[in-house]
Amino acid sequence: MRIAFTGGSGKAGRHVIPYLQEQGHHVLNLDLQPLDLPGVDNLIVDLTDSGQVFNALSSYANFGELEPGTGMPKFDAVVHFAALARILIKPDNETFRTNTLSTYNVMEAAVKLGIPKVIFASSETTYGICFADGEVKPDFIPVDETHPTVPHDSYAMSKICNEACGRSFQARSNIDIYGLRINNVIEPQEYASDFPAYVTNPDLRRRNIFAYIDARDLGQMVQCCLTTDGLGYEVFNVSNDDLSVALSNDEVRKRYYDGVPVVRDMSGNETMYCNRKAKEMLGFAPQHSWRDVLTEV
């Protein structure tokens, strides 16, 4: 497929794009900064500017596409990852403005240009736990896509707005728009550098509901979304199968979630950030675990 990928130069994109290339896709990266990776085309775009977005999504990706003389090829999908990816990078209102406007612009252009699929990055923060003022516990565990989304912070609020836009643009157009409520993204080298501290101090993972998502498995999730058509508008939690701490599910529940209703049986080190919807509807099957790297734990 010919894919326009926004924000591909960032933490997640630089792993997801090579994964998509391995599946045979061609990627044009739309970002404020280029991604230096063989086979990836780059276009420097400020996605908060609608004119630039419409133009980029109706653009040639490279000089080679001029050769056949058959005009500009269409994109088969947009994968929209660009964002200010948390609070406390820029002031709260700027985070909200950048993320809502850029996502609106991307979805509107995709719909009006007839691009049949948009996959966009939402976030675990929509559940209101990650960047809350003080400790907020889940209403129930495991946290699945039916859990209320009432966050405190501007970043998560922007993602809630993105989801509302996705639902509305899908209703208006009937294209497929899939939102990914991504848990905390982990690059391969971060297992060795960061996870020993999580083993020692599991409190560090409380805000992530003790979950994580391997950046390469996030690539697989995007591929699952690209190859599954006709779902309309859907949101999916995206996480690995196991907890990001060395405690068992039972121990985490006892230590951190006293009084929180447990709505189904959980066992072993099963994640509390439920990824069953993605598995059942898309065939998502994460391959990686921090336990493959820190084998002594």
Ligand X SMILES: O=C(O)[C@H]1OC(=O)[C@H](O)[C@@H](O)[C@@H]1O
Q: Does 154 bind ligand X (CB under 6 A)?
A: no
Q: Does 130 bind ligand X (CB under 6 A)?
A: yes
Binding to ligand NAI (CB under 6 A) within 86-115 occurs at 98, 102
Binding to ligand NAI (CB under 6 A) within 22-51 occurs at 31-33, 45-48
Q: Which does 12 bind (CB under 5 to 8 A by kind): ligand X, ligand NAI, none?
A: ligand NAI
CA atoms of 259 and 99, how far apart (whole Å): 35
Q: If we measure between CA atoms, which residue out of 125, 139, 118, 55 comes closest to residue 96?
A: 125
Q: Minimal distance in Å, beta carbon 138 to ligand X?
A: 15
DSSP E strands in the chain: the ranges are 2-6, 26-31, 41-44, 77-80, 117-123, 176-182, 185-186, 213-214, 233-238
Nearer to ligand X, 47 or 109 (CB): 47
Among 2, 14, 86, 137, binds ligand X (CB under 6 A): 86
Q: Does 206 bind ligand X (CB under 6 A)?
A: no
Q: Phi-psi bin for 222: left (phi > 0), alpha (psi -120 to 50), beta?
A: alpha
Q: What angle do CA 116, 171, 149 make, to 5 degrees?
A: 105
Among 3, 4, 5, 9, binds ligand NAI (CB under 6 A): 9
Nearer to ligand NAI, 15 or 295 (CB): 15
Considering CB under 6 A, how many residues would be counted as binding ligand X? 9
Q: Minimal distance in Å, beta carbon 85 to ligand X?
A: 4
Among 184, 237, 240, 244, binds ligand X (CB under 6 A): 184
CA atoms of 168 and 34, how far apart (whole Å): 31
Give per-residue burial for 232-264: e unless 16+ CB within 10 Å, then b. Answer: ebbbbbbbbbbbbbbbebeebbeebbeeeeeee
Nearer to ligand NAI, 65 or 194 (CB): 194
The HSE-up count of residue 98 (CA atoms within 13 Å, CB side) is: 20
Segment contacting ligand NAI by CB under 6 A, of 105-113, 179-187, 227-235, 260-268 = 179-187
Among 100, 105, 125, 269, binds ligand X (CB under 6 A): 125
**Residue number of the CB atom closest to ligand NAI:** 10
* Cβ proximity of 96 and 157 under 8 Å: yes
Lookup result for tokens 């990001």: 244
Q: What are the tokens at 233?
A: 């508008």
Segment contacting ligand NAI by CB under 6 A, of 8-16, 55-63, 71-79, 224-232 = 8-16
* Cβ proximity of 118 and 234 under 8 Å: no
Binding to ligand X (CB under 6 A) within 32-71 occurs at none
* Cβ proximity of 240 and 286 under 8 Å: yes
Q: Does 53 bind ligand NAI (CB under 6 A)?
A: no
Q: What angle do CA 243, 239, 227 make, to 5 degrees?
A: 150
Interface with ligand NAI by CB under 6 A: which residues? 7, 9-13, 31-33, 45-48, 81-83, 85, 98, 102, 121, 123-124, 182, 184-185
Residues that bind ligand X (CB under 6 A): 85-86, 123-125, 130, 184, 207-208
